[in-house]
Structure 1
Amino acid sequence: MQALRKHIHPGWFIIAPLLILVATLYLSPILNILWLSVTDPEPGFGNYAKLGESDALVRIIWTTVRICIITTIFSVTLGYSIAYAMVHCHQKQKNYMLTLLLLSFWISILVRTFSWLMLLGRNGLVNGALQDIGLIAEPIAFMRNELGVLIGMVHYMIPYAVLPLLVSMEALDKRVMDASRNLGATGTQTFWRIYLPLTLPGLVASTLLVFILSLGFYVTPAVLGGGKVLMVAEYISVQLLVTLKWGTAAMLAALMLFGVLAMLWIMSRFMKLSTVFGGAAR
């Protein structure tokens, strides 16, 4: 015990029971999911073998990955522009923009989704306005397809893309950009050669955050997709609540977990994850 006290701060002994409880409550469900994926309905890797046997399952996974990639590209691109504008605008304007950004986190995803349905539906405000002014003869199919799902997901994910980028940009030393311009670089050269590389950790963090969160979308594809755009999260719900195929649902959940861990591992091969999530570079 004396040896432990020399190497471990006494404070750790106080919070150790709570840490063990949190670890147990967090790891137990994950381990249970992994166990179900190889034991239900029978022991073995039959559930994972479905990935090579079921075209429908592969199509659902590919649809999910494709939509998440497109969502990430648009969300991070728009988020970078918004963060850049917030950093370089007047402090009062920045406060307004930050308030609106944080306000979006308090609005339910269900409210946002149905708002888009009312705006872009066949009888929605947008189609109605376009028909009234004579630009279109028939309503445009914004909803109940991948376009509608993408609109809803990008709208929801932009605030998550902005925050890591905003933190990264605010941490930059503006004197570096000033020095670049003083040495004769144009604004475009300063951005591409100095500013963008320095904000790369925030860009990676934003990309990872948006893509990982997009993988678990359920409400938006279900409502705006109208049952025509089936993603993994919704398919897992069907397997659990309708067909009662817990093994298949657990396999898909485990696959998503392994995919996220694999992305983090690959990213760690190229850069320190501590810098991505705001830690020191060393």
Structure 2
Amino acid sequence: MRAFLFLICPLLLFLGCSYLLPFLGIMQLSFSDPDPGLAQYRHVLSDPLTLSVIWRTLRICAIVTVVSVIAAYIITLLWVRGRPLVRSLTELCIMIPFWISVLSRAFGWMSMLSNRGLLNTWLKDLGLIDASLQMTRNEFAVVIGMSHYLIPFAVFPLATAIRNVDERVLTAADGMGASRLRIFWQVFLPMTASGIIGATLLVFVFSIGFFVTPALLGGGQSVLIAELIYLWIFQIPQWGMAAAMSVILMIAVGGILVLLMRRYGEVAK
């Protein structure tokens, strides 16, 4: 036990200095700037504009989570249970995005979805549209960009769950005359529920704090919480408001983590 504590203490000290102390400083700022008290929190929780940003963030993050987990599930099935060539190609497609920065991906989607981008150009050349479709500076572009970035992160917890599926259970269901679709929905999918919950947890928590992709693809028309905090710090000097929003965001994410981890633990058992 002493050896364990001796080994874990440097990590705890590093985490405390890197995360806990800055967070305590932000919390102190949220109660003291510009005036001591709870005025910043009251404003954040009552201002219609701020509340609209919060609800927009939750809505977009929920959509991104659903899209990412569904796409990642399909990709993971190909990766884990596909033929050797399919597995190799799928693994390559999973790994390549990790070599590309989030900024490069956002600019790539801008060039693809803009009014003069590749997609609009192709649609016009095919005669399917006469005028360019507005596919950037809106929530559609934000969802596409965020989902593209987060899908690879959802793959790994799903892969672990799918690899742990007992093939004997699937064979028994097949032997009892169940169709492939019924085996998937009633046997295979419930057995991978822990991976689905893990992927959902990971993607949702990551998406809550997204900044670069919504800022570029949203074009200021779909402002999320992280971008609002940036505006309060660098463009509209309201550091107390930014600190209060940051604390609320941390508490909300922490609460979501606790609830989902408890549920995740129950399903895993």
| TM-score band w.r.t. shorter chain | over 0.9
Structure 1: which 5+ runs fail to align?
A: 1-7, 276-280
Pair 1:183–1:117, CA change in 2 (3 A): same
Equivalent position amino acid for 2:171 in 1:
D
Query: In the alignment, what sits opposite 1:86?
Result: 79
By how many angstroms is 1:175 displaced?
A: 1.5
By how many angstroms is 1:248 displaced?
A: 0.8
- Out of 212, 223, 229, the position equivalent to 1:230 is 223
By how many angstroms is 1:82 displaced?
A: 1.0
- Out of 176, 179, 188, the position equivalent to 1:186 is 179
| TM, length-normalised to structure 2 | 0.94
By how many angstroms is 1:114 displaced?
A: 0.7
Structure 1 stretch 265-274 or stretch 49-58: which is displaced more?
265-274
Query: In the alignment, what sits opposite 2:34?
Result: 41
Structure 2 residue 217 is matched with structure 1 residue 213 = no
Percent identity over paired residues: 37
Conserved 8 A contact 2:106-2:217? yes
By how many angstroms is 1:106 displaced?
A: 1.2
Structure 2 residue 60 is matched with structure 1 residue 62 = no
Conserved 8 A contact 2:157-2:196? yes
Correspondence 1:1-282 to 2 at 5 A: 8-13=1-6, 16-272=9-265, 275=268, 281=269
Conserved 8 A contact 2:233-2:239? yes
Conserved 8 A contact 1:47-1:247? yes
By how many angstroms is 1:15 displaced?
A: 5.0
Aligned to 1:185, what secondary structure does the other structure show? coil
Please list the CA deviations of residues 29-83 of structure 1 after superposition, one character each: whole Å capped at 9, or x if unmatched. 1111222222221221111101343110001111111110111111111111111
- Moved beyond 4 Å, runs of 4+: none
By how many angstroms is 1:133 displaced?
A: 2.0
By how many angstroms is 1:132 displaced?
A: 1.7
| TM, length-normalised to structure 1 | 0.90
Pair 1:169–1:254, CA change in 2 (3 A): same
How far, CA to CA, are the matches of 2:153 and 2:10 in structure 1? 33
Compute the RMSD of aligned alpha carbons: 1.7
Query: In the alignment, what sits opposite 1:5?
Result: none
Equivalent position amino acid for 2:211 in 1:
Y
Conserved 8 A contact 2:78-2:86? no
**Highest Rg: 1 or 2?**
1
Conserved 8 A contact 2:68-2:150? yes
Structure 2: which 5+ runs fail to align?
A: none
How far, CA to CA, are the matches of 1:227 and 1:25 in structure 2? 31
How far, CA to CA, are the matches of 1:149 and 1:185 in structure 2? 41
Aligned to 2:237, what secondary structure does the other structure show? coil
By how many angstroms is 1:108 displaced?
A: 0.7
Conserved 8 A contact 1:109-1:219? yes
